Amino acid sequence: TAVIRLADYRPPAWTVEHVDLAFDLGIDRSEVLATLDLVRQADEPIRLNGEGLELLELHVDGRRLVEGEYILANGVLEVGVEGDRCTLVTRVALRPAENTAFEGLYLSGSRDKGFLLTQCEAEGFRHITYYPDRPDVLAKYTVTLRADKARFPVLLAGGNPDGAGDLPDGRHWARFVDPHPKPSYLFALVAGRLERISQDYTTADGRKVDLHIWAEADVIDRCDYAMDSLVRSMRWDEQAYGRNYDLDVFHVVATHDFNMGAMENKGLNIFNAKYLLADPDSSTDDEYRHVEAVVAHEYFHNWSGNRVTCRDWFQLSLKEGLTVFREQSFSADMNSAPLKRIEDVALLRRAQFPEDAGPLSHPVRPSQYSEINNFYTATVYEKGAELVRMIAGHLGHDGFRKGMDLYFERHDGEAATIEDYLKALGDANGVDLSAYLAWYGQAGTPRLSAEGRYEADKHRYRLLLRQRTPASAGQPNKQALPVPVRLSLFDANGRAMPLRLEGESAADAGERTVVLTQAEQAFVFEDIASAPVASLLRGFSAPVVLECEYAPAELALLLRHDADGFNRWDAGQQLAGLAYDEYRDGKPEGAAVVAWASALAGLFHDASIDDALLAELLTPPGEIELVERQAERDPERIRAIRRGMLRALAKAIGIDALKARYAALREAASDGLDAASQSRRQLKRRLLDLIALVDASGAVALAGAQYSDAPSMTDRLAALTTLAVTDAAAGEQPLAHFRQRYDGNALALDKWFAAQAQLPGDAALARVQALEDDPAFTLKNPNRVQALLGTFARANPTGFHRADGAAYRWLGDRLVAIDALNPQVAARVATAFNGWKRLEATRREAAHAVVAELAARKDLSRDLTDILARVAL
Ligand code: DPP
Ligand code: ZN
């Protein structure tokens, strides 16, 4: 397969000033008439991308071309023309109902009831018409939709409405004009039977905007929370970044058939229903937060992505990392900031660190790809957001805002690069940020080692920091990066000490940031009265793995006293890691186990700690992160050790105390969405799981009662999971009840599939296979595939990695079947094989056999082939 390289970038030879698209829409067949006003930029023929299109007509400047006057090969239409401008017209036919890959124009739902929609990022527009389908070609769009009025009463496209009316034969039309030049990946249309909810909004700069959220009739009453989130996002972007919305209408549409989470098409966002619909009866608290976050994310793209877009797909993180960071800040403002930080870092460690430690590792700005769809990764998104966060921290709040203002102003209407971004932020502040560029180009998670030495006679504390990034494919030697380390020093009573570096005259208050720029640097703090405990990387100030040899008592001190909520949690995570090591090494009474359990048992009774934070503190690193603490991966053993630790924790707190607290939380329960109610539900769930480890029958009784009278999905699903994990027989009846209660509710059924896909052990594969026979299961729906197959392969280590390799072979078969329908989904599920090399020998061989066999096939999609080729290495 062809490899595309950043180093080969060349500006477009022809740009598009204006494009006029006229669609005649039908489910089996649609036609697209495209009129492109092209402008020459270089002495080359016009080359337009197009895939899977039936070319009906081609005209250049009014003259119809016949075969031989153009070249059509390998997805490119090539036409040689004289002159510097030309008008090129194509008419093509498409087959939406046959499009199971959900890229380009396709049908969501059934033939009788479903609706038509598009997905163009990254390269879907070439499945709609012939076009220079690259993000650095920005054009103004006029779009006319025509369709049968009864079958397609609603016609939507991006931009402002510009007329609509009836046509003969029961058809109608609608036109849209987008005044803002945009790349083709931001084009969208929707046509079908949809209901809407609407709201008026006036921007800070006085524009009146009609907000509409569209969904099918059976779910339209679940869109209110998304509308509320949208309004708050719009207000927040005005206040935090001075960014106003820029069209007269803003549409958001929900679909159950979507490859991604959501899509920021200009003026017409399209959402996977999973991230738009929410109601207490079918959505968990986590899902409410996801809806809020994704609505915000897509809305924020209107500036970070749409008004300023990416020059090429290598720059994807320019919009995604930045927009994730903007969303994280928004969510932190809307909810608890430390909890949001904990959630985001936990995700980074669970998803991005393993990605960056294996064969799929790539820089935040990759230097090459063969299939761009495979680079919508945790590295580009989540690590990319961490890079923006570091830079924002470097500039400070006001400096970052000044920098962002200049970036938006300087590059409005342009396709920009990471260099442009760093330059604008630096110029606005009179600083040079180019050192951060290395973070964008270098793969792998840096290791930061810290060694503190207290010199009692001189009252000095010397902190030696070292960095090292492990070699990765194509990058044997890594350079030193700027690593900001936010830190505090605590005395033995848990008080933060004033900080004065050698050579400075005045001391800072209890926290400051030092920046490591070399491979190794020492920082000497003066006037330190007693041996301190260092709280390092506060707020997770850089995306690194911290290696610091803390004594268990030191971590316990931070866990008790650190005022930084994130670091307090992280001290607990590190201490739990040490406790894990002791368990692994046969020392269940070791110092770390005791320190961890007794510190948490103490905090359990500390009324000043928020319930949700306590729930997080009571959760050690998961089975997937703990892999890092094993030379070879044996999921059964990891799970057994982790459960042993949790049992010790439950015993240290005491079963009576756990039950009493659970009862009190249940007493105080409400179905409200306020933070306190959500926190109570989260802690309740955690306690139920801890109780189950020491008193299984007691937990089953509590969970049974909780399931029966649960006022919300959060409580219901938590109880269901505890029941199914703790006692298979006790889980049967509630699982059957849940299945029936939510029949026809796709998002609730996804949770039912996912909950069972996670049940551990050797029985898991047979259970998943039986679930494939459920009438609600289909390989055609991405959410359903992710719920059952994706959850099993990624979140059920003991089930997926069974020693006989049966689950690997089964998933291999399914990947081939999914790939024939939807390559993007197949490729995503296939990443579950990423860590096969770290498995213990039997499993490793079994996984390798499957991966190697698949990688040798010649009949798979480019998406899946690319993942397999890299994973197999
Ligand atoms: N729709 C995806 C996102 O918003 C890709 N742009 O992240
Ligand atoms: Zn995005």
Model pLDDT for residues 834-866, shown as the tens digit of each residue: 989 999 999 999 999 999 999 999 999 999 999
Q: Is the pLDDT of residue 633 over 90?
A: no
CA nearest neighbour of 406 among 396, 418, 393, 420: 420
Per-residue confidence (pLDDT) for residue 631, from 0 to 100: 86
- ipTM for the predicted complex comes to 0.97
In sequence order, what are the residues at sequence separation of 6 or more whose Cβ sits closer than 8 angstroms to the Cβ of residue 638?
623, 626, 627, 630, 797
Contact assessment for residue 549 and residue 466, using Cβ atoms and an 8 Å cutoff:
no
Category of 616 on φ-ψ map: left (φ > 0), alpha (ψ -120 to 50) or beta: alpha
Per-residue confidence (pLDDT) for residue 489, from 0 to 100: 97
What 3-state DSSP class applies to 535?
Answer: strand
Per-residue confidence (pLDDT) for residue 508, from 0 to 100: 80
Per-residue confidence (pLDDT) for residue 60, from 0 to 100: 98
- Amino acid identity at 509: A
Ligand 2 mean position, distance from CA 316 (Å): 9
For residue 269, give the ligand nearest its CA. Answer: 1
Whether ligand 1 lies within 6 angstroms of the CB of 322 is answered as no
Which CATH class, in words, describes the domain spanning 745-873?
A: mainly alpha
Model pLDDT for residues 69-80, shown as the tens digit of each residue: 999 999 999 999
Atom of ligand 1 nearest to the CA of 320: 7
Contact assessment for residue 714 and residue 285, using Cβ atoms and an 8 Å cutoff:
yes
Whether ligand 1 lies within 6 angstroms of the CB of 351 is answered as no
User: CB atoms < 10 A from the CB of 71, how many?
Assistant: 13
Per-residue confidence (pLDDT) for residue 792, from 0 to 100: 98
Q: Is the pLDDT of residue 251 over 90?
A: yes
Per-residue confidence (pLDDT) for residue 341, from 0 to 100: 98
**Per-chain residues with Cβ under 5 A from ion ligand 2:** 320, 323
CA nearest neighbour of 170 among 191, 196, 197, 152: 152
Ligand 1 mean position, distance from CA 297 (Å): 8
CA nearest neighbour of 171 among 155, 188, 187: 155
**Angle CA(860)–CA(862)–CA(868) in degrees, nearest 5?**
70
Structure tokens at 50: 């197009």
Judge residue 588's burial from the number of C-beta atoms within 10 Å of its C-beta, 0-12 exposed, 13-18 middle, 19 or more buried: middle
Domain with residues 308-441, CATH architecture: Orthogonal Bundle (1.10)
Atom of ligand 1 nearest to the CA of 376: 5
Q: Where in the chain is the domain with CATH 1.25.50.10?
A: 745-873
Instruction: Fill in the DSSP letter of residue 568.
Output: H
Confidence of residue 543 (pLDDT cuts 50, 70, 90): very high
Q: Which of 118, 121, 372, 379 to mutate to test the pocket of ligand 1 (most atoms within 8 A of CB)?
A: 121
Whether ligand 1 lies within 6 angstroms of the CB of 327 is answered as no
Per-residue confidence (pLDDT) for residue 785, from 0 to 100: 99
Q: From CA 750, how far away is CA 274, in angstroms rounded? A: 9
Q: From CA 7, how far away is CA 796, in angstroms rounded? A: 40
User: Please, which residues bridge with residue 269 across strands?
Assistant: 252
Model pLDDT for residues 123-169, shown as the tens digit of each residue: 999 999 999 999 999 999 999 999 999 999 999 999 999 999 999 99
Helix 675-694 and helix 635-653, axial crossing angle in degrees, nearest 10? 100
- Residues 370-391, mean pLDDT to the nearest whole number: 98
Question: For the chain, what percentages of helix, strand and coil (3-state, to nearest 5) are there?
Answer: 45, 20, 30
| Residue with more model confidence, 302 or 474 | 302
- Amino acid identity at 791: T
Per-residue confidence (pLDDT) for residue 628, from 0 to 100: 87
Per-residue confidence (pLDDT) for residue 468, from 0 to 100: 98
Model pLDDT for residues 771-806, shown as the tens digit of each residue: 999 999 999 999 999 999 999 999 999 999 999 999
In sequence order, what are the residues at sequence separation of 6 or more whose Cβ sits closer than 8 angstroms to the Cβ of residue 705?
none
Structure tokens at 426: 């630096």
Q: From CA 264, how far away is CA 322, in angstroms rounded? A: 14
CATH of 447-542, one of 3.40.1210.10, 2.60.40.1840, 3.40.1180.10, 1.10.580.10: 2.60.40.1840
CATH topology of domain 4-300: Immunoglobulin-like (2.60.40)
Confidence of residue 426 (pLDDT cuts 50, 70, 90): very high
Residues of the chain with pLDDT > 70, as a percent, come to: 100
Q: Is the pLDDT of residue 1 over 80?
A: no
Per-residue confidence (pLDDT) for residue 632, from 0 to 100: 83
Q: Is the pLDDT of residue 669 over 80?
A: no
Residue with tokens 């066999």: 853
Q: Where in the chain is the domain with CATH 2.60.40.1730?
A: 4-300
Q: From CA 474, how far away is CA 872, in angstroms rounded? A: 16
Helix 384-411 and helix 418-429, axial crossing angle in degrees, nearest 10? 70
Ligand 1 mean position, distance from CA 195 (Å): 24
Structure tokens at 614: 């306590």
The pTM score is 0.98
Ligand 1 mean position, distance from CA 328 (Å): 15
Q: Where in the chain is the domain with CATH 1.10.390.10?
A: 308-441
Instruction: Fill in the DSSP letter of residue 219.
Output: G
Q: Is the pLDDT of residue 827 over 90?
A: yes
Per-residue confidence (pLDDT) for residue 623, from 0 to 100: 94
Model pLDDT for residues 169-198, shown as the tens digit of each residue: 999 999 999 999 999 999 999 999 999 999
Residue with tokens 């040490």: 578
Ligand 2 mean position, distance from CA 319 (Å): 7
Residues of the chain with pLDDT > 90, as a percent, come to: 97
- Residues 539-567, mean pLDDT to the nearest whole number: 97
In sequence order, what E strands does 542-688 have?
A: 545-548
Q: What is the average pLDDT score of the chain?
A: 97
Q: Where in the chain is the domain with CATH 2.60.40.1840?
A: 447-542
- Residues 301-323, mean pLDDT to the nearest whole number: 99
Whether ligand 1 lies within 6 angstroms of the CB of 320 is answered as yes
N-terminal to C-terminal alpha carbon distance within the chain: 16
Q: Take atom 1 of ligand 1 and give the residue whose Cα is closest.
A: 263
